[in-house]
Amino acid sequence: MSVMESEQSLQLQIRECLTGMGIFSPVDWDVLVFVYRHRASLANAEQIARMVGYPATMVRDSLKNLASLKLLRRSRASHGVNLYQFTSSGLDSPCYDYFRELLASVDNRAGRLEIIRELRKEAKKGSKWLKAG
């Protein structure tokens, strides 16, 4: 397989995984990875935002979106915080497989760049639709 073919294959694989999970923005991806790596986070959107480096409003929206996608579980609020836990919808779900594949891809620089490129592309599409709407 040539270098170009290999890159295309990676691109396709990443796109398939992201689409399969319903992730279309870099914020969603970074917040999801944060929640996954932190197992159970007892925090609010502002605290998570400080850690992942996005504005709090974007992180708040992202947390809502990920919860609606059932990729994370959000507890009731208590003293302004929630308990966020990665759910993966069961170990056998295709969603979890996609996530595992993506995590394996971000282990190397090429994979990381490809995920960012793909998500930015999707984010641009989204903003165009928003403008058109």
Partner 1 sequence: MAEGGLIRTGIAGLDAIFLGGIPRANMILVQGSAGAGKSLLGMEFIYRGITDFNENGVIVVFETSPDKVVRDAAEFGWNFGELERQDKLRIVFTSPQVLEAQLRSPDSLLLEVAAEIGARRIFIDGIGLLRTAPANGNDGPNEPDSYRELLQQVLEALQRENLTTMFSHELGGRPESTARLEIATFLADTVIELGQDRHTRLAHRSVEIVKSRGQRYVAGRHTLQIVSGQGLEVFRRVQAPDLHPVDEPTSSIKSSVIGVPALDDLIGGGFFDGSTTMVVGISGVGKTVLAAQILLESARSGKRILLVSLDEHPAQIIRNAGTLGLDLKEQMDAGMIHIFYESPQELEIDAHFARIVRTIEKFGIQRLVIDGVTSYSTALEEQRMYRDFFHALVAYTKLHLMTTVFNYENPELFGISSYMPEFPVNSIVDNIILLSLVELGSSLHRSIAVVKARGCKHQFDTREFTIGPGGITLIPVDEKANLSALSMESYSSILSRAPTRVSPRRGNGEAVSYTPSR
Count Cα atoms within 13 angstroms, Cβ side, for 93: 12
The separation between CA 62 and the C-alpha centre of its own chain, rounded to angstroms, equals 9
Show the CA angle centred on residue 45, arms to residues 81 and 109, nearest 5°. 130
State the residues that interact with partner 1 by CB under 8 A: 36-43, 47, 75-76, 78-79, 81-83, 91
Q: Closer to partner 1 by CB, 49 or 122: give it.
A: 49
Q: Return the amino acid letter for 38.
A: H
Using the minimum distance from each CB to partner 1, give the nearer residue, 40 or 110. 40
Work out how close the CB of 93 gets to partner 1 at its nearest, in angstroms, rounded to a whole number: 14
Nearest distance, CB of residue 107 and partner 1, angstroms: 14
Pairwise CA distance, residues 30 & 18, whole Å? 13
Closest CB 75 distance from partner 1, rounded Å: 6
Taking the least distance from each CB to partner 1, the nearer of 81 and 123 is: 81
